[in-house]
Homo-oligomer: A and B are copies of this chain.
Amino acid sequence: MLSDRQRLILNAIVDNYIHSAEPVGSRTISKKDGIGFSSATIRNEMADLEELGYLEQPHTSAGRVPSTKGYRFYVDNLIQPHLLNDLELGKLKQLFAERIHHFEQVIEYTAQILSHVTNYTAIVLGPEIFEHRLKHIQIVPLNEEQAVAIVVTNTGRVENKLIDLPKGVRPQEIEKLVNILNTKLSDVPLWQLRQRLYQEIAGEMRRHVEQYEEMLHILEDSLTREEKERVYLRGATKIMNQPEFRDVDKVKDILELLERNDQLIHLFGAPAEGLTVRIGQENQLDAIKQCSIITTSYSLGGKPVGMVGILGPTRMEYSKVITVLNYLAEGLSQMLTSEFEK
C-alpha cells in the first residue's frame, strides 16, 4: 500500500504530466504548493514509486512518466472532482434544450458536443433495439417485382428494406397480409418479431393469404435483419493535437481503426452499465494501446440502452472527461425517458 506522501507525489506527477506532456522532474514537484519536501526527498520517493511500477523513466537522466499502473491508481484513488466552467456547462445544456425530432440527430449532436467540450474523440452508440416496439408495418410495392417493407417503432425510428416479391402476387394479397401483421404484431418488441411471426402469424397467413410460404420467408428476412448499430464518431482528428501523436505512423493506425464503422463498436468492449475507464495497455486493440477510453451508458426508464465514450491519449484529462460523461449521460437519460416514457 502506498503511504500518504507517496499518493500525494504520484498525484502531483500525474497531474503535471497530463498538462505538460513532458517527463516530470523532482524539482518541479518539490516547488509545488502543498508539497513541503526538498527535491532529494521527492527523488527517493520517485525511485520507490518506480520500483513499485507506478512510474517509468524514458531514459536515465529524464524525469518520470506515469505507467499504466500509475494512471490506474490515479483514476481509482486519487482523482479529484472537476468543476466545469460556464462555457462548458452551457455547451452541454444546449444539447438538452433541443427538442427531439430525430433520434439520430440527438446522437450525432451528442457526439459533436462531447468532442468539442473535451477536445478528444467522441463515440456515441445509439439506443439498442430491444426497447423498440412495433408501431406499424407497411409494404409499398414499387413495381411487379419489388416492394419496400417499412417498420415504424414507438420511438419514431423507421427501418426500411427493399424486398423481392414472389412472381404474380396480387396487391390485395399484400394488403391483407399487412393488415394481419399490424393487428397481430402491434406493440411487440422488435427482437421478438421473428418468433411471433412463426408462432402466431403463420397459421393465420395460411388461411388467408396466397403464396403464404414465399411471403413468410421474405417477411422473416426483412423484419429480423441484423440491426446495424448506429455509431457516431466525432473529432477523430483531435488526437493529432496531442504532442505525443505528432508522428504520422502512430496516428495512422488509430485513424484507420476509427474509419472502420464496423469496428467502432468494439471500442466499447463488453457493454457495461455505468462508467468504465480503460487505460493504455489495458485495451485489447493494439492500435489504441497508447490511448485511454472512458465510456458510460445512458438509459431509458432505468434500463441502459446506449453508450457514450471518449477516446484520448493515456495522458488524458481523466477528471474532466469523467465529469463531462457522467453529466451528459445523466442528462441524456432524463431527456430520453421524459420523451418516450409517456
Q: What sequence of 0s and 1s flags, for each residue 102-125 of chain A, a beta carbon within 8 Å of any chain B beta carbon?
A: 100000000000000000000000
Nearest Cβ on chain B to A233's Cβ, whole angstroms: 9
- Neighbouring B residues of A247 by C-beta, 8 Å: 248
Task: State whether A158 and B152 are in contact (beta carbons under 8 Å apart), knowing that A240-B252, A342-B143 are contacts in the complex.
Answer: no
A245 located at the interface, meaning its Cβ lies under 8 Å from any Cβ of chain B in the complex: yes
Integer count of this chain's copies in the complex:
2
Bound Cα distance A237, B252 (Å): 7
- Neighbouring B residues of A136 by C-beta, 8 Å: 138, 140
Q: What sequence of 0s and 1s flags, for each residue 227-249 of chain A, a beta carbon within 8 Å of any chain B beta carbon?
A: 00000001111001000011110
Bound Cα distance A44, B126 (Å): 64
Contact for A156 among B138, B146, B154, CB less than 8 A: B146
Give the interface centre of A148, A236, A247, A342 by most chain B CB atoms within 10 Å.
Answer: A148
In A45-82, the 8 Å CB interface with B consists of: none
- Neighbouring B residues of A102 by C-beta, 8 Å: 161-162
A255 located at the interface, meaning its Cβ lies under 8 Å from any Cβ of chain B in the complex: yes
A142 located at the interface, meaning its Cβ lies under 8 Å from any Cβ of chain B in the complex: yes
A251 located at the interface, meaning its Cβ lies under 8 Å from any Cβ of chain B in the complex: yes
Across the interface, do B162 and A160 meet the contact criterion of CB distance under 8 Å? no
Bound Cα distance A142, B161 (Å): 21
- Neighbouring B residues of A155 by C-beta, 8 Å: 142
Bound Cα distance A152, B155 (Å): 20
23 A-B residue pairs with CB within 8 Å: A135-B140, A135-B142, A138-B138, A138-B150, A140-B152, A142-B154, A146-B156, A148-B152, A148-B156, A148-B158, A150-B158, A152-B160, A156-B162, A158-B160, A236-B259, A237-B252, A237-B255, A237-B259, A240-B248, A240-B251, A247-B248, A248-B251, A255-B255
Top 8 A-B pairs, shortest CB-CB distance: A158-B160, A136-B140, A140-B152, A237-B255, A240-B252, A156-B162, A237-B256, A101-B162
**A residues lining the B interface (CB < 8 Å):** 100-102, 135-136, 138, 140, 142-143, 146, 148, 150, 152, 154-156, 158, 160-162, 234-237, 240, 245-248, 251-252, 255-256, 259, 342
Contacts beyond the supplied A148-B156, A236-B255: 8 A-B pairs with Cβ under 8 Å: A138-B150, A142-B154, A142-B155, A143-B342, A152-B160, A235-B259, A245-B248, A251-B251
